[in-house]
Amino acid sequence: MATGTTFDVLIGEPPVKVGEARSSVVRSKELFRFRYSAAWLNHPRVFALSPALPLSDQWQHFAGTPNDRGAALPGVFRDAAPDAWGRSILARSVGASTETEFLLAVDDRTRPGALRFADSDGVPLSANEPPIPRLTDLRRLHGLCAALETGSADPREIARDLQGASASMGGVRPKSVVVDEQGVMHMAKFTMTGDSRPVERVEVATLALAAEVGLCASAARLADPDSTFPVALIERFDRVVGTNLRVHYMSAQTLLDSPHWDERFYTDIADALRQVCRIGEKAMSEMRELHRRILFTILVSNTDDHLKNHGLLYTPSNGWELSPAFDVNPSPQRRRQLKTGISELSNFEPSVEAWVEAAPFFEVDEDEARQTAATMAATITARWRSLLLESGVTERQCDEYATAFDHEGTRTAQRMGLRTVRAQAPGKSGLTS
C-alpha cells in the first residue's frame, strides 16, 4: 500500500515555480519523482537545478536503497534537506522519518539554498511562526542544544523549541540560524561542555587565515569571545546581504552525482567545473581557486574535506561558481589523510608534491604551483599562531595545534620556493624540482 505527497517546487524570492514533485512509500521503499514545469522551461533565465536533473518536461525518477535511503531524493534536494543535527531535531519534534518528510519539515525561511516547497496555492509547507532568533538569543539556544545533547529535559519539547532555528542545519555539532543587528543571516556553531579543544575559535581563525592567503572564504567572527562557550558566527553565503534574495546552491557531491560513500577526487570536481561553467575563462578561474584550496587543506591539516563540504552557487549573472570555502577545521595529531583525493595518481595522501604534479589538471603550470606552495606556506607559518591567539586560543592550546600547521608538508612547500628561485637564477638553467 502506498502513501504519497505532492508539492510544488519553487526557487528564489519572489518565488518562481520550477516544477512539481511527488513522493510515495511502497513496501517500505521511498520513491520520488520530479518534473520541470512548462513555465520554467520557457523562462528567460531557465537553468537546470543540477547536472543530474537535466531540463525536460518528463518525470525523472529516484528511489531509496537499503544502503542509501537519501537516494530517494535528487542530490540538489538533499542539499536543501537537513543533515545529522537537523534530522535529530525533526525526528523528535515532528516525528519525521522519510527523506521527503525531513525535506518538507525544514523552515522555509532558513532552508539552505534557494529551493522552496509549497502547496498548490504557493503557501510554503513549513514556515514556523516564531521569528528567526537574533544574537541576543544565543545563550538560550546554547542552553537548549546542551539540554538536547545531555538529555537533561524532555527532548521532544526542546526539539520543538529548536525546530525553526536549527532543523535546517547539517553536520553533527549543535548549531542554529541567527540574524545579526543588520538582519544578516548566520550559522551559529556552539562550543559545548564536552569539547576538548577550542574548535569554534580555531575555525574562525582558520577562515581568516584562508582569506589572508587569497582564498574566497566564508566571513566568520566570534560571539561571546570572552566567555567559556564562544559561538562561531559564519555568514550565510546563500543569502544576498541587505535583501531577501536567495542564492541557489548545490554541493560537490551533487555536482558529481556521487553517493556519500563513493571515493572521488578533486580532479573529478575540476572536470565537472569544465562542464557546468558556461564560460571557459570562468571554468579556468574556478579550477585554479579549487587547486589553491586543496593546498590550503593540506597545509592546515583539514581532514574533513568530503564532498558535502565543497559547494557551488548559481546566479543569473555568473552561472555556476564555487561557494566561499567553509567547514575548514585543522586536526592536530591525527593521521593526515584527505577525504577527497587529489587525483587517482596520488589517491588520498595529503602530499604537496602530488598537489604540484596534479597542477596541469587544474590549468596551472607546475612552476607556478611551486611558487604558490612556497608563498602560502610562508603566510600560514607567519600568521596561524597570531590569528588563533586573536580568537582567544591560549598559548598552550596553540602548542597543541602546532602539528596541524607545522609539518613535513609545510617544509616541503617552503623548499619549493627556494628551488624556483634557483631555477630562475642566471646561469642556473636545467635546475628543476
Cβ atoms of 214 and 198 closer than 8 Å: no
Q: Which of 109-113, 257-261, 263-267, 422-426 has the lowest mean pLDDT?
A: 422-426
The pLDDT confidence band at residue 127, using thresholds 50, 70 and 90, is low
Cβ atoms of 312 and 276 closer than 8 Å: yes
pLDDT in tens, 310-328: 999 999 999 999 999 999 9
- Please give the Cα distance from 76 to 308 (Å, whole number): 11
Quote the percentage of the chain above a pLDDT of 70.
Answer: 95
- Please give the Cα distance from 339 to 353 (Å, whole number): 18
Quick check: 423 pLDDT over 80? no
Question: In the chain, which residues fall in CATH 1.10.1070.20?
Answer: 248-424
CATH fold label, 135-235: Phosphorylase Kinase; domain 1 (3.30.200)
- The larger pLDDT score, comparing residue 93 to residue 43, is at 43
pLDDT in tens, 201-214: 999 999 999 999 99
> For 299-307, what is the mean pLDDT?
94
Quick check: 79 pLDDT over 80? yes
CATH for 248-424 is 1.10.1070.20
pLDDT in tens, 395-412: 999 999 999 999 999 999
pLDDT of residue 84: 85
Quick check: 427 pLDDT over 70? no
The pLDDT confidence band at residue 424, using thresholds 50, 70 and 90, is low
pLDDT of residue 348: 94
Tell which phi-psi region holds residue 104, choosing left (phi > 0), alpha (psi between -120 and 50) or beta. alpha
Greatest extent of the chain over all pairs of C-alpha atoms, in Å:
81
The pLDDT confidence band at residue 346, using thresholds 50, 70 and 90, is very high
> For 342-370, what is the mean pLDDT?
96
The contacts of residue 37 (CB under 8 Å, 6+ apart) are: 17, 18, 19, 20
- Reading across the β-sheet that carries 231-235, which strands appear in turn? 175-179, 185-190, 231-235, 220-223
pLDDT of residue 165: 81
Smallest CA-to-CA distance from 37 within 17, 60, 15, 61 is with 17
Quick check: 432 pLDDT over 60? no
- Dihedral pair phi/psi, residue 84, rounded to 5°: -55, -50
Quick check: 191 pLDDT over 70? yes
The contacts of residue 55 (CB under 8 Å, 6+ apart) are: 36, 41, 46, 47, 48
> For 369-398, what is the mean pLDDT?
98
Quick check: 428 pLDDT over 50? no
The pLDDT confidence band at residue 167, using thresholds 50, 70 and 90, is confident
The contacts of residue 74 (CB under 8 Å, 6+ apart) are: 32, 34, 49, 50, 52, 53, 60, 62, 254
Average pLDDT over the chain reads 91
pLDDT in tens, 17-39: 999 999 999 988 999 999 999 99
pLDDT of residue 129: 64
The pLDDT confidence band at residue 419, using thresholds 50, 70 and 90, is low
* Cα R_g (the chain), whole angstroms: 23
> For 193-208, what is the mean pLDDT?
95
For residue 4, list its beta bridge partners.
Answer: 24
Contacts 24+ apart (CB under 8 A), 42-50: 43/16, 45/316, 47/314, 47/319, 49/11, 49/18, 49/74, 49/76, 49/115, 49/248, 49/250, 50/74, 50/75, 50/76, 50/250, 50/254, 50/255, 50/257
- The larger pLDDT score, comparing residue 95 to residue 129, is at 95
Question: In the chain, which residues fall in CATH 3.30.200?
Answer: 135-235
pLDDT of residue 429: 34
pLDDT of residue 420: 54
The pLDDT confidence band at residue 433, using thresholds 50, 70 and 90, is very low
